[in-house]
Amino acid sequence: MIAEAIQKIKSELPEGVQLVAVSKFHPVEALAEAYAAGQRIFGESHVQELTAKCPLLPADIEWHFIGHLQTNKVKPLVAHVSLIHAIDSDHLLHEVSKQALRAGLRVDCLLQLHVAQEETKFGFTPGEAIEYVESGVWRQLEGVRLAGVMCMASNTDDVRQIRSEFRLAAQTHRQLRDAIAASAADDEAACAFRHLSMGMSHDWHIAVEEGATLVRIGTTIFGERQY
Ligand SMILES: *Cc1c(COP(=O)(O)O)cnc(C)c1O
């Protein structure tokens, strides 16, 4: 079932869009099954769970951290991840950079955009993100590289609402990339800022239509989570 679900999603993804298999709360056996089906990118949202699963699975897996990250959990995480999706403050980005440098690493990070209607969602508003990127403070952080943005749409059945939120994220992503390219004609940083991470089990088709480069899918692949 896991293999079939992955194959089906991959057959529907346009070229250049990558699948992050969201494996939180699922046992390593389920991840191994996905791995055997060719899946190499896995997304987890708890540091302890990610660091526990990591050593039990093949080394060529790319681990993405997709959850809300607390600064005191950064240190055990940095050595294991290839991409952190949800950077929601300058403070957190500083901490990731500090811990990455201590480990001799540079970690790719996405800025989390707050585009949903719910007040509980974390992240920068589009305006805050533009202000932050234009401030240029992130350029001093040598342990991280800004690799784009991520967002979550409102938890609703209203397709038009979801689409408008994804569209706002995509538009903001372009604005941020242009701002990076314009400041100091920084082509390298603008190229690095390439990812738009959006879309989950119920809304990834819309996210892809609106330009997602990474979709984060759990339930459709692994079934309901057992909390
Ligand atoms: C859990 C989670 C997902 C996957 O959600 P599904 O509905 O199971 O596909 C995607 N993104 C984030 C940030 C998550 O926490």
Taking only the tens place, the pLDDT of each residue in 53-85 is 999 999 999 999 999 999 999 999 999 999 999
Query: Quick one: 2-222 is in which CATH superfamily?
Result: Alanine racemase (3.20.20.10)
Return the domain boundaries, the chain: 2-222
Find the helix packing angle between 28-36 and 2-12, rounded to 10°.
50
Express as a percent the part of the chain with pLDDT over 70: 98
The pocket around ligand 1, CB under 6 angstroms, is made up of 22, 24, 45, 66-67, 152, 200-201, 216-219
Q: Which of 45, 115, 197 to mutate to test the pocket of ligand 1 (most atoms within 8 A of CB)?
A: 45
Mean pLDDT of 207-216: 98
Between 122 and 187, where is the model more confident?
A: 122
**Residue 222 confidence class, pLDDT cut points 50, 70, 90:** very high
- pLDDT of 121: 67
What are 22-49's pLDDT values in tens digits? Answer: 999 999 999 999 999 999 999 999 999 9
Question: Which ligand 1 atom is nearest residue 220's CA?
Answer: 9
- pLDDT of 183: 80
> How far is the C-alpha of 24 from the C-alpha of 43, rounded, in Å?
7
DSSP per-residue string spanning 5-25: HHHHHHHHSPTTPEEEEE-TT
Kindly state the greatest CA–CA separation across the chain: 50
- Which whole-number Å values give the CA distances from 49 to 23, 26, 43, in the listed order? 10, 10, 11
Strands (E), 49-143: 62-65, 83-87, 107-113
Helix (H) or strand (E) run with residue 43 in it: strand 41-44
Tell me how far the alpha carbon of residue 129 lies from the centroid of ligand 1, in angstroms: 22
Q: How is residue 154 written in tokens?
A: 């409102």
> How far is the C-alpha of 141 from the C-alpha of 41, rounded, in Å?
26
Q: Is 27 left (phi over 0), alpha (psi -120 to 50) or beta?
A: beta
Tell me how far the alpha carbon of residue 67 lies from the centroid of ligand 1, in angstroms: 9
pLDDT at position 184 over 70: no
Evaluate whether 51 touches 72 at the Cβ level (below 8 Å).
no
pLDDT at position 120 over 90: no
pLDDT at position 19 over 90: yes
What are 125-172's pLDDT values in tens digits? Answer: 999 999 999 999 999 999 999 999 999 999 999 999 999 999 999 999
CB atoms near residue 8 (< 10 Å):
11
- pLDDT of 227: 79
> How far is the C-alpha of 112 from the C-alpha of 219, rounded, in Å?
22
Burial pattern 71-106, b for ≥16 Cβ within 10 A else e, equals eebbbebbebbebbbbbbbeebbbbbbbbbbeeeee
Tell me how far the alpha carbon of residue 7 lies from the centroid of ligand 1, in angstroms: 19
Between 121 and 67, where is the model more confident?
A: 67
Question: Which ligand 1 atom is nearest residue 86's CA?
Answer: 13
